[in-house]
Amino acid sequence: MKKTVSLIFILCLIVQMALAQKRSVSGVVRDKVTNDLLPGVTIVEKGTTNGTASNSKGEFQLSVNNNATLSVSYIGMSTQEVKIGASSTIEVFLESASEKVDEVVVTAMGIMRQTKALGYSVQDVKGEELVRVKEANLVNSLNGKIAGVNITNSGGAPGSSSQIIIRGGTSLLGDNQPLFVIDGVPIDNSTSSGNSGTDRVTATSTSSGNRAMDLNSADIESISVLKGPAAAALYGLKAAAGAVVITTKKGKQGVPQISVSSKMKLDAVSRLPEQQGLYGQGSGGTFNADTGESWGEKVTSGQPFYNNMKDFFQQAWAYDVNGSISGGTENANYFMSVQRLDQKGIVPTTDYVKNSFRFNGEQKRGWFTIGMNTNYIYSTTTKTLTGDGLYGTGGTGYMLSIINWPRTDNMANWSENGVKRRLLPGVALQDDIDNPNWLVRNNPVTEELHRFIGSGYVKVSPVKWLDVVYRAGVDHYNSFNQSITSPGAAMITPYDKGAVSEKLRQNDLLSSTLTASANQKINSFDLNLLVGHNYEQTTYSNNTQTAVGMLSPDFISINNAAAANKAFDSYKSQKRLTSVFGEFRVDYKNIAFLGVTGRNDWSSTLSPENRSFFYPSFNGSFVFTELLNERFRNVLSFGKLRASWSQVGKDAPVYQTATYLNSPVTTIGGGYNDSWTGGNPDLKPETTTAQEYGVDLRFLKGRLGVDLTYYTTTSDDQIIQPRVSNAIGYIFKYVNWGTVENKGYEITVNAVPIQTQNLKWDLNLNISHNDGKVYNLPTGLELLYVTDVQIGPAKPASVNNGDFLGLTGQKWQRTTDGQLILDPNTGYPLTSTDATKLVGNREPDIILGLNNNIAYKNWNLSFLIDIRKGGAVYNATEWAMIKTGLSKETEKRGENYTFEGVTLNSTTGAYEPKSSTVVLNENYYKNIYSAEASNFITDVNWFRLRTASLGYKLPDYVCKKIGFVKSIDVSIMATNLFIITNYKGMDPEVSAGGAGVVGAGSSGIDYAGVPATRSYSLGFNLKF
């Protein structure tokens, strides 16, 4: 008992002594040039996590240890270290620092680190950049701002998805998008898709949203993009494709700040495919009322001719209103926000509505800091089928109908006395073409989403060199999707009587992370150690019910169909991941930095003998300018070399280690069949090994900066499912086979061409190149196709010993030396049904983003130029219009054309030169021209003004006159103002299947998608 009392007494004495060494320091932070007070400046006691931020008046107060040194940092300014000494009040002046040598970025596990200490490439985007030209989908806000990042928007529909790929894909059949982390917890960024076997919705049927679009850009403080495995190593297998680390806003010490912003946006169609304007409905050169094709006779003067495509789309308004209140004291802070987004679509009846509510709070008390970050989102989306209709029903989406609708018929006349007007009344209903205006009003596809993202954390700092943090997070959402087909649709029976499908999806991602970090300075060395444990559980369920053939045409319901026409499908999966990890860092005199990480994961998706795997990483940097004398540093103010080597695993999707059974067989004998794909208990994780080398240079005291990076990644043991012999009981089998290799470079240039007291021009240039290749596929498997986007004569595919983002397709027959083989009877080129020829590579040669920000007094002009060189785009929309005679190319019908080639001499068996003049007729375009994939493929280049904004901050005296307003900002913004390109179709930034198509994806496939938009916005931002 005495020992216990003595121990308690000693502990209390230690705590009292520790507290006695603390004292309060207050101060103010100003801009050295303008003497303006700086709010939001970060003040941290060096060597600890103890910190605060200056309030709206530039003031701060912080309890620190005796003889402490404060690190004072602010965006765009040099970090200062201030020794307190005996002072209790200080005044700090910060200078502009374009070189950003001491800039702090958020890295893996939320660790704040100076960029000069990193042995790998990390780029970040600040919150003010995200809202300067605010996008409805957060992913689009990163376009052109990060080197090595390729973002593809799937179209101009409200609520449509955007895909983000960092340094090329690493998985042949898996998801190649990066991990998203918000406030320390992983979240889901998947894109929902249909199922051709249940609701009959395929990837090209309609647009769907990726879940990162649920986030509100106005809530975000910064986004750090961790590009390679070395940067994201601590996140493990889920970050094999990189990580996007999002930090949301916190309140700052001082008077509460209220902010209200509002934006009105007008969207209009940017580009449409060009159609022929000479020929009307029919076939064989004459009018035919029983076909919707446009191979009819030439339109005569005075005959009605309609611009159906242009007239169908509308201008659409969007309204985005945000409000927030934040504040705090020395020991507590809070941030609350609300958003309402109403976005109408350029397609009638379509829209996207989002409501977002956020609360972030933090409280410090002694050793303890507790906090929480919560976000609730409720959204609805209304759309309809776009390209292909429901699989196997014979129907089409509205966009496919538009591009094939004869221009001699007025598409706007779709209803007669409230009854659908048919284009082809003389044919069976299932052979007709539905009017797009009828489709969008009668066959809606809707989604209703409820989502909650939350995390809570406790940090314990018993001594200044030790922090222990526990964080728990949840990402829960459920969505209800409904697709309606109204009676009278041009589909096969019983779909022509009406149909409905309903899908309820639920996803729960639970995470738990415990970390302990320690740092000590020993002589000239700063040592840091981090150890941690992580547990994640993902539960997904999907319940789909369908009914076709409505018994009563006026009542669309699952209950309004015969029992034989109803179906129900239920699916549920659960995945667990347990991990331990660690990192050791050492810093020698702020000159040399070394980091080592290690992580071991245990994944439930693999067999017990293969589910444990360990992967390390090493990175280092050397600031060589610290060794140069002052004369050299006047020119080269900062120089750093860096290198890293890393390895990361990637486990299998759920339930691929076993072979499962299909539904019961009802034929003689009964029983069960194996599923089409055989499981493999010996599956191993995919393994990605990466190397990265870079140099970071700053010249002329930071006025010019250049960062160069070269990287290689090799991803082995790909998990694929090749076709196998049916004799073993199934068609496909999961195996580890194949390698994906990426090599590339990145160049980032930061410059300040002009800087005076009133004028500053900041320029940021990002250039990147990646070359993705595939090797070592199984013998006989030379191509891996992407499902759901196989349209016409070309298909996206990964090619063995070739391109990861390849295109294969049909080609006219040629000799071994490339001469065109002509049909000796007709003179036309001989076609081939072989669709395995390599016809293009969808990966761009160079991606370039040039960001400019010019500030003059109270004015601010910002614009982003986006340039892309190379990368094949397959125009399947043009292919569809060729088949129906609506392509601009088909205006050449009836003309003569001479082909130069060879023909086969049947007697000698040798090829002989041949010149053949033929007529470009309907048969030629439909069966010969359309069978040559290269006729629809363009190696695309573009120059685009992606975004532009002009803002003005009203003078302070105006706000003072109003009295209760601190600041008023007004801005005008625009996106996709113009594009110069050699592509003849719609916007060449396309992805026919959206972000949900895994593996090589569907980027570069243009097929009956919603046209991209050009938008103009007016915004206001008031602070109180």
**Tens digits of residue pLDDT in 863-882:** 999 999 999 999 999 999 99
Written as six digits, the tokens of 489 are: 């649709």
Look-up of token digits 């990175």: 619
Q: How far apart are the first and last CA of the chain?
A: 59
Please identify every stretch of the chain with a pLDDT value under 70, giving residue numbers as ranges.
Answer: 1-22, 33-35, 56, 75-76, 96-102, 665-669, 725-727, 787
For residue 120, the SS3 value is: coil
**pLDDT score, position 804:** 95
Residue type, 934: S
Is beta strand 89-94 parallel, antiparallel or unpaired with respect to 22-31?
parallel
In 3D space, the residue among 355, 392, 387, 361 whose CA is nearest the CA of residue 374 turns out to be 361
Pairwise CA distance, residues 829 & 835, whole Å? 16
**Which of helix, strand or coil describes residue 676?**
coil
Q: State both tokens at 970.
A: 């007004």
Query: Could you give the C-alpha distances from 623 to 628, 733, 802, in angstroms and in order?
Result: 10, 51, 39
What tokens appear for 34 in the block? Answer: 């303008």
Q: What is the pLDDT of residues 526-563, one digit of tens each?
A: 999 999 999 999 999 999 999 999 999 989 999 999 99
Q: Tell me which amino acid residue 850 is.
A: L
Coarse DSSP helix, strand, coil percentages of the chain, rounded to the nearest 5 percent: 10, 50, 35
Q: Could you tell me where the beta strands, DSSP code E, fall in 604-671?
A: 612-623, 636-650, 661-664
Q: What is the pTM of this model?
A: 0.88
pLDDT for the residue numbered 56: 67
Instruction: Go through the domains of the chain in sequence order and give each one's CATH number.
Output: 23-94 (2.60.40.1120), 122-270+315-880+937-1023 (2.40.170.20)
Alpha carbon distance 112, 107 (integer Å): 6
Q: Is the peptide bond before 494 cis (omega within 30 degrees of 0)?
A: yes
Q: Identify the bridge partners of residue 264 per DSSP, sorted by sequence position.
A: 319, 1018
Contact 112, 104 (CB under 8 A): yes
- If one counts every other C-beta atom within 10 angstroms of the C-beta of residue 629, the result is 7
Residues in the chain: 1024
Residue with tokens 């989002």: 354
Contact 397, 487 (CB under 8 A): no
The pLDDT score that the predictor gives to residue 96 is 62
600: amino acid identity, one letter: N
CA separation for the pair 779, 231 (Å, rounded) = 35
H-helix or E-strand spanning residue 375: strand 368-384
d(CA 219, CA 694): 33
Q: Both tokens of residue 19?
A: 């507290």
Please list the residues that pair with 344 across neighbouring strands.
351
Residues sharing a CB contact under 8 Å with residue 613, sequence separation 6 or more, in sequence order: 600, 601, 603, 649, 684, 685, 687
3-state secondary structure at position 1010: coil
Buried b (16+ CB within 10 A) or exposed e, 369-396: bebebbbebebebbbbbbbbbbbebbbb
Instruction: Work out whether strand 42-45 and strand 51-53 pair parallel, antiparallel, or are unpaired.
Output: antiparallel
Coil, strand or helix at 926: helix
Task: For residue 445, give every residue at least 6 positions away whose Cβ sits within 8 Å of its Cβ, in sequence order, or none.
Answer: 201, 206, 382, 383, 384, 385, 481, 482, 483, 484
* 306 within 8 A of 243, measured Cβ to Cβ: no
pLDDT tens by residue, 198-214: 778 887 888 888 999 99
R_g (Cα) of the chain, nearest Å: 31
- Rounded Cα–Cα distance for residues 397 and 387 (Å): 5
The dihedral formed by the CA atoms of 873, 874, 880 and 882, expressed in degrees to the nearest 10: 90
**Cβ–Cβ under 8 Å, residues 994 and 160:** yes
Q: What DSSP string describes 971-997? A: EEEEEEEEEEES--SS-S--BTT-TT-
Q: Are 773 and 738 in contact (CB under 8 A)?
A: no
What the block records as the tokens of 607 is: 């067999």
Rounded to whole angstroms, how far apart are CA atoms 422 and 420? 6
Cα 660 from Cα 2, distance rounded (Å)? 66
Q: In terms of Cα–Cα distance, which of 664, 867, 650 is closest to 767?
A: 867
Between strands 89-94 and 896-904, the pairing is unpaired
CA-nearest of 545, 641, 811 to 117 is 641
Instruction: Report yes or no: 655 and 131 within 8 Å, Cβ to Cβ.
Output: no
| pLDDT at 927 (0 to 100) | 96
The DSSP bridge partners found for residue 457 are 371, 471
Residue owning tokens 């001469």: 819
Calpha distance 411→692 (Å, rounded): 56
Distance in angstroms (rounded) separating the CA atoms of residues 809 and 422? 36
pLDDT number for residue 100 = 52
Nearest-angstrom CA–CA distance, 34 and 84: 25
